[in-house]
Amino acid sequence: MKRNDIDKKYHWDLGAMVDGNETFESIFDYVSDKLTTIEGYKGKLGERKAALECLKLVDEVSERFELIYIYSHMFKDEDASNGTAMGMSIRTDSLAGKFGAATAFLNSELSALDAAALDGYIADPEFKDFDFMLKEIVRQKAHILSDKEEKLLAMSSEALNTTYNVAHMLFDVDMKFKSVKKDGKKVNLTNESYGELLADGDRAVRKSAFNNLYDGYIEHINTLAANYAGNVKADNFYAKARGYKDCLEQSLFGDGVPTSVYENLIDACNKNFAPLHRYIGLRKKMLGLDKQHMYDLYVPIVENAEMKLPYEEACDIVKKALAPMGEEYVGLLGKAMNEGWIDVMPNDGKRGGAYSWSSYSAHPYVLLNYAPTTSDIFTLAHELGHCMHSYYSQKFQPYSKWNYQIFVAEVASICNETLLDDYLMKNVKDENVRKYLLSLRLNRFRTTLFRQAMFAEFEYNAHKMDLEGKPLTVDSLSSMYLDLNKKYYGADVISDDRIAYEWARIPHFYKAFYVYKYSTGMTAATSIAHNILANPDYVNVYKDKFLKAGGHKSPYDILCDTGVDLATVKPYDDAFKFFNDALDELEKLCK
């Protein structure tokens, strides 16, 4: 459908950010003008007064710039064929580049000040809004080297960072796969089409997708192993050069997350394979398989029983499901649904998928492409979770501290999904829908919590092997991976030979120690939802200590304040319980 043919009640109203061309142009001019003023502070950040003025000015300009940047990009996302919107977004992209260049000196100049000077700023109440940011700079200083050494590292980085590009050249360009036969026709097999083919109801289709994809990787496996080994060596080189114990410590340092959180994730999963193995066994039984193979793990075990709801009914359900969040929260959901915060329906030229995005000085927005499916009800709850997290953080934190870090970015959204899941299981009577919902939950846990933890364990082992001087080769990497696969999935699935090479096709491995955040985020979110359901008073702790917290502290500390310490077993117990409950219920329904 064309955008104009869609009822306006399904359109968002971007006017809360920018109410027309004139405002857009005036903010654009204001920001462009101020860039020279900002650059005038270069070399002056050692003077307390100048530093404070500069930090305040940068925030003031950044806050206004955000408005036109986000406005123009959302305007373009409505319909990419709109030339005016496209023109505006290109102009703000270019201004973003100039803004970045004009403020680049800030961090390096502040980092270069001695610790006593920075401590002086931190102690000064006038710098209150910037204390966390300055403390972070002090914390990072321990790993900043001399000018000469930093220059060397910078010079080396282009050469040492080629492994990521090599991997993507192979993944995206050079590697070709044998096609797959489906319904008598040849289907192109690519990294993108693989997922859908692997979930195909026809076993021959998923088997040949699996075999052909891995055969494509195996053809380049020596190159892939050498390249990944190079990547691990570069990781370990930088960690050592900057005085970290290892790359794990370095990777988590930025978020202020202790390495015990990472080790605890791996440990907790290793102590809780039983429910995962039980799930894999249940799949085998439900699919009626004599032998279950790795290529059988993605086919749905329950026939699709969609809840085909019109958008308004989906909104009602989400509001009811989130009632444990309290009246104020549900009231805000109503506001978001009725006052133009959400762009609901798909239309020609609209950006696909869903997101929530916000500038500090206007309410957050949500983009959807709503279709009447079960998963889109979850998407609505998910995006509204981001939306409310932003809303509260904007309201209760100064500009400099409102943005939350990636480590906790998915907690509020998954928490809402969990509350919705719980509500539906308590209220939906149709047995097929119940089975379907349970199968979705089990699949979410398998692919997000367990699978990403297995990846995390692989990265942990690979970096350790390199530090211990053990060579990273096709054999050493693949046999280590195969052992992990067997350990995680258990005896009810055959760990086919080819799965040993799965490590070779995971692009995230070129950004070390990142994927664990999927597992910890889901665990924290499930634990919080569990606490909310168990104790109504806990909602206020969650709201005050988490939703309103933005990024005023390290994300790990924020979660600890919320009663969720990811270095302990409690959050994992809560998460595995939620998984186990679904297993019990599904087993009962299938008897």
Segment interacting with Zn ion (CB under 5 A) among 86-94, 190-198, 412-420, 497-505? 412-420
DSSP letter string over 17-81? Answer: T--SHHHHHHHHHHHHHHHHHHHTTTT-TTSHHHHHHHHHHHHHHHHHHHHHHHHHHHHHHH-TT
Nearest residue to Zn ion, using CB?
413
Position 519 contacts Zn ion (CB under 5 A): no
Residues 187 to 216: which contact Zn ion by CB under 5 A?
Answer: none
Tell me whether residue 354 or residue 454 sits nearer to Zn ion (CB atom): 354
Tell me whether residue 206 or residue 444 sits nearer to Zn ion (CB atom): 444
Q: How many residues bind Zn ion (CB under 5 A)?
A: 1
CB 386 to Zn ion: min, Å: 6
CB 407 to Zn ion: min, Å: 13
CB 545 to Zn ion: min, Å: 21
Tell me whether residue 390 or residue 531 sits nearer to Zn ion (CB atom): 390
Tell me whether residue 360 or residue 404 sits nearer to Zn ion (CB atom): 404
Helix (H) / strand (E) element for 520: namely: helix 516-534
Which residues is 342 bridged to in the sheet? 366
Site string for Zn ion, 217-246 (x = CB under 5 A): ------------------------------
Q: How far apart are CA 415 and CA 531, in angstroms?
A: 11
Q: For residues 574 and 526, is the Cβ–Cβ distance under 8 A?
A: yes
Site string for Zn ion, 349-368 (x = CB under 5 A): --------------------
CB 342 to Zn ion: min, Å: 15
Tell me whether residue 257 or residue 381 sits nearer to Zn ion (CB atom): 381
CB 204 to Zn ion: min, Å: 35
Q: How far apart are CA 437 and CA 320, in angstroms?
A: 17
Position 405 contacts Zn ion (CB under 5 A): no
Q: For residues 178 and 215, is the Cβ–Cβ distance under 8 A?
A: yes
Site string for Zn ion, 553-582 (x = CB under 5 A): ------------------------------
Tell me whether residue 413 or residue 443 sits nearer to Zn ion (CB atom): 413
What is the residue type of 296?
Answer: D
DSSP letter string over 180-204? Answer: EEETTEEE---TTTHHHHHT-SSHH
Segment interacting with Zn ion (CB under 5 A) among 226-234, 237-245, 413-421, 506-514? 413-421
Residues 303 to 322: which contact Zn ion by CB under 5 A?
Answer: none
Active site residue 457: no
Segment interacting with Zn ion (CB under 5 A) among 72-80, 98-106, 154-162, 410-418? 410-418
What is the residue type of 108?
Answer: S
CB 420 to Zn ion: min, Å: 14
Task: State the residue for tokens 């390249």.
Answer: 227
What is the residue type of 251?
Answer: S
CB 355 to Zn ion: min, Å: 8
Name the phi and psi angles at 404, rounded to 5: -90, 155
Q: For residues 163 and 234, is the Cβ–Cβ distance under 8 A?
A: yes
Give start and end residues of each alpha helix (H) in 242-291.
Answer: 247-253, 259-270, 273-286
Annotated catalytic residue: which of 383, 457, 459, 502? Answer: 383
Q: For residues 542 and 532, is the Cβ–Cβ distance under 8 A?
A: yes
Tell me whether residue 12 or residue 41 sits nearer to Zn ion (CB atom): 12
DSSP letter string over 329-370? Answer: HHHHHHHHHHTT-EE-S--TT---S-EEE--TTS--EEE---
Tell me whether residue 208 or residue 413 sits nearer to Zn ion (CB atom): 413
Per-residue tokens: 135: 């403390």
Strands, sheet with 355-357, edge to edge from the N-terminal-most edge strand:
342-343, 365-367, 355-357
Position 400 contacts Zn ion (CB under 5 A): no
Segment interacting with Zn ion (CB under 5 A) among 133-141, 160-168, 407-415, 564-572? 407-415
CB 417 to Zn ion: min, Å: 9
| SS3 assignment, position 493 | coil
Position 413 contacts Zn ion (CB under 5 A): yes
- Active-site residues, by number, are 383
Residues forming contacts to Zn ion in the complex (CB under 5 A) are 413
